[in-house]
Structure 1
Amino acid sequence: MVLTGRVQIHSRRVFLGAVAAGSTALAGCGLLGDDGPEPAPQPDALQPLLDEALALAGAYDRVILATPNLAARLTPLAEDHRAHATELTKVIGAAVASVAPSASAPAGATDTTATLRKAEQSAQKTAAAACKAAPRERAALVGSIAACRATHAEALR
């Protein structure tokens, strides 16, 4: 096929003007999706670690309240979880109600060092999986949390 005739060469300014006019027309028709509400933001991938850190700190508080003679042994472990929650909050950019110890945490019937150990083991697996999936700028923090949780499980033997 042979093209005969004059070929027009347009400037960049003409091209950009046409693009802008076309997108304005599409926006007016609602084809660009401007009509509906924006979708809810996805939760941060580290949110489960933050939730677990707060839950573990609370579980330690309950055991300490129920068994005060374990306070010297368990308080440093609870404080580790509060420190993790603080750091995760900074990384995620989320607001946390409180990472302070709860003075009125009711003791549960099943809160013992054995249940704390099981909770630590489960939380360590969550942290290890999160570490594998985390981007490199978050992997060091998540890896240290996973290691700390593994250490806690051993300390509770």
Structure 2
Amino acid sequence: MRAVVQKVLEADIEVVNNVDLVHVNHIDRGLVALLGIGKDDNHTDIAYIADKLAYMRIFADDDGKMNHSVQDIDGEILLISQFTLFGDMRHGRRPSFTQAADPQHARMLYHELTDHLLDMGLKVKTGHFQTHMQVSLNNNGPVTILLDSKKQF
């Protein structure tokens, strides 16, 4: 499981409904997590990513040091499925997605991660799974962190 996590002041998701853009979700201060789910991912990967999202200390304390987590600041998480994080560009010019989970498996793990974060007491909003979305965000820092559950050991 891979995540690109950005610390944001705010973020929005919209989807195209016929011709019009329809607002889906909005968060204020918190994290945007673009989530790629691999074909071999399971509950261990969910636990790893959830722990990192909940407790990574990337928000400033009173001294300006990164000492606070999204929980500490009462922030929100916008969780967005993005299979392209498993795009492999080692060969050719078109990415291969053979390591990405099939949609049914990915959807199940995406919802399980969302539920896990909610059970931890976090404020979580999501995009629409397997839908073309337009994401806008105001990156704060900028701070961008890469997580990969397969690189935890």
* TM-score (norm. length: structure 2): 0.26
Q: Pick the structure with more helix per residue.
A: 1
Report the structure, 1 or 2, having the larger strand content.
2
> Normalized against structure 1, the TM-score is what?
0.25
> Which structure is higher in RCO with an 8 Å CA cutoff and minimum separation 6?
2
Q: If you compute each CA radius of gyration, which structure gives the higher value, 1 or 2?
A: 1
